[in-house]
């Protein structure tokens, strides 16, 4: 299975059609912030554009998406938020929105709320050994949740989940300036930055083995 993942679109999908192999990828995964404080109609424009590139899309809304963007993804069958899916033998658990920010953005949750959504998602993949976490907000205190002033602003609930469940991979976003990678135990955590800057992730999974890399257009 080959996945192309990116996020922080903010109404600007950039040159996604130029990502090598995106047309033939098994899935596109969106890691959130499809719009910029936008609503369902705004998200629909972005999704329709992406559908012309590859119709096999899954994803979550970000904290800068209005709640009805999350409902829109649910309505059209693309949502991973608070869900677990098993695809080609690997479980995929999704979490949209973010922990609380000082900016009171539209799609935020308490850490307890995020933990409940993660628990719901992991419960839906049963005893599937290998799984991937798709979380708009990165785990707390890593190389991918750090602001320019040095503050860590990721989610403690996401970090605890990773520490306990040890997914093969965590695909995140949210903190544009923290494009990069880190590890929590065996879990590789990747933040590609914004798609308008050309950042994306390529994931290859086959029979329990996974390879994932940060890439740039």
Q: What distance in Å separates the CA atoms of residue 92 and residue 152, rounded to the nearest whole number? A: 26
Asked if residue 172 has pLDDT above 90, the reply is yes
Averaged pLDDT for residues 163-187: 98
Q: What is the dihedral of CA 133, 135, 140, 144, to 10 degrees?
A: 100
Q: Residue 207 has what pLDDT?
A: 81
Q: Residue 25 has what pLDDT?
A: 98
Asked if residue 35 has pLDDT above 90, the reply is yes
Identify the CATH number of the domain in which residue 19 sits: 3.60.21.10
What is the span of the domain harbouring residue 177? 2-216
| Cβ neighbours of 71 (radius 10 Å) | 15
Of 153, 152, 84, 89, the residue nearest 118 (C-alpha): 84
Q: Residue 208 has what pLDDT?
A: 83
Q: What distance in Å separates the CA atoms of residue 99 and residue 105, rounded to the nearest whole number? A: 10
- pTM for the whole thing? 0.98
Asked if residue 188 has pLDDT above 90, the reply is yes
The domain tally of the chain equals: 1
- For 93-112, what is each residue's pLDDT tens digit? 999 999 999 999 999 999 99
* Residue whose entry in the numeric block shows the structure tokens 């707390």: 140
Confidence of residue 185 (pLDDT cuts 50, 70, 90): very high
- For 120-166, what is each residue's pLDDT tens digit? 999 999 999 899 999 999 999 999 999 999 999 999 999 999 999 99
Rounded percentage of the chain residues whose pLDDT exceeds 70: 100
């Amino acid at each position: 299975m080959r996945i192309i993942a990116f996020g922080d679109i903010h109404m600007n999908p950039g040159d996604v059609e130029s990502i090598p192999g995106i047309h033939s990828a098994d899935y596109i995964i969106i890691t959130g912030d499809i719009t910029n404080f936008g609503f369902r109609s705004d998200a629909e424009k972005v999704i329709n554009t992406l559908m012309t590139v590859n119709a096999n899309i899954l994803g979550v809304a970000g904290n800068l998406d209005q709640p009805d963007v999350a409902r829109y993804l649910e309505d059209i069958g693309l949502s991973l938020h608070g869900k677990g899916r098993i695809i080609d033998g690997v479980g995929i658990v999704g979490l949209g929105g973010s922990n609380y920010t000082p900016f009171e953005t539209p799609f935020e949750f308490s850490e307890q709320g995020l933990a409940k959504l993660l628990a719901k998602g992991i419960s839906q993949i049963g005893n599937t050994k290998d799984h991937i976490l798709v979380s708009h907000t990165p785990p707390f205190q890593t190389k991918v949740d750090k602001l320019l002033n040095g503050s860590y602003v990721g989610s403690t609930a996401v970090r605890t989940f990773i520490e306990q469940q040890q997914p093969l991979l965590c695909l995140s976003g949210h903190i544009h300036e923290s494009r990069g990678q880190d590890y929590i135990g065996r879990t590789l955590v990747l933040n590609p930055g914004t798609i308008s800057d050309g950042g994306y992730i390529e994931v290859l999974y086959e029979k329990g083995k996974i390879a994932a890399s940060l890439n740039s257009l």
